[in-house]
Amino acid sequence: VVERFSSGRGQVIDAAMVDGAAMILGPFFSAFTNGFWGERGTNHLDGGSHFYNVYETSDHKWVSVGAIEPQFYAELVHRLGVTVDALLQPAEQNNRKVWLAAKERMAEVFRSKTRAEWEAIFDGSDACFAPVLSPSEVATHPHTAARGTVVTINGIVQAQAAPRFSRTEAKAGVPCHSGQHSVAEVLSSWA
């Protein structure tokens, strides 16, 4: 629209999702180029570190941690109750030589309680901890329920439309059933 007003001509906008996704990879490309990003599974954000990972609990559910910054990591270690564990000391957080052993130790600790017990322990903390929820749990979780993030329309659970505008209501559409509309009907609705 801006181009139309400035030049009198329109233009095609090539907006492929892969290009948009690549744009958010800038920090990773930079880290790789500068020698700070190694093979998959050996880095801070890809499961290599013990403080940015997922762990199974005693009830075979899962929790996630993302305590990158030192203050959040210290809170994580405190809430885990392992402040005396040599592997998990804040001074060792970024020591890649201990990451594998530290992951094994954290896995052992997280397996000692249920997910609900860990949620209670971490409730109200800044430890960068969250439960890994199933789709049905997401639909009924207090946070998503309060925001109206997930809705059920005609018995189908789905994400509410986003983003939300202050004056214009966006609503999730009703999914069509297979064969409900012909190709001609769909194409004519776009005319």
Q: Give the CATH number for residue 79.
A: 3.30.1540.10
The residue out of 133, 154, 185 marking a domain boundary is 133
In a domain, 125, yes or no: yes
pLDDT band at residue 175, thresholds of 50, 70 and 90?
low
Indicate whether 60 and 128 sit together in one domain. yes
pTM of the model: 0.74
Domain range for 110: 52-133
Mean pLDDT of the 58-71 span: 98
What pLDDT shows up at residue 104? 96
Name the domain count of the chain.
3
The whole-angstrom separation of Cα 87 and Cα 98 is 7
**Residue 2, burial from CB neighbour count under 10 angstroms (0-12, 13-18, 19+):** exposed
Structural domain contains residue 44: no
- Please check whether residue 103 lies inside any domain of the structure: yes
Confidence of residue 124 (pLDDT cuts 50, 70, 90): very high
Within 8 A by CB and 6+ apart from 23, the residues are none
Whether residues 57 and 128 share a domain: the answer is yes
66 and 119 assigned to the same domain: yes
Average pLDDT, the chain: 89
Q: Is residue 100 part of a domain?
A: yes
Q: Are 64 and 70 in contact (CB under 8 A)?
A: no
Quote the pLDDT of residue 102. 96
Is 107 domain-assigned?
yes
Percent of the chain with pLDDT over 90: 47
For residue 170, pLDDT beyond 80: no
pLDDT in tens, 83-110: 778 889 999 999 999 999 999 999 999 9
From the list 6, 7, 111, 103, the residue with the least C-alpha distance to 48 is: 103
Q: Is the pLDDT of residue 134 over 90?
A: yes
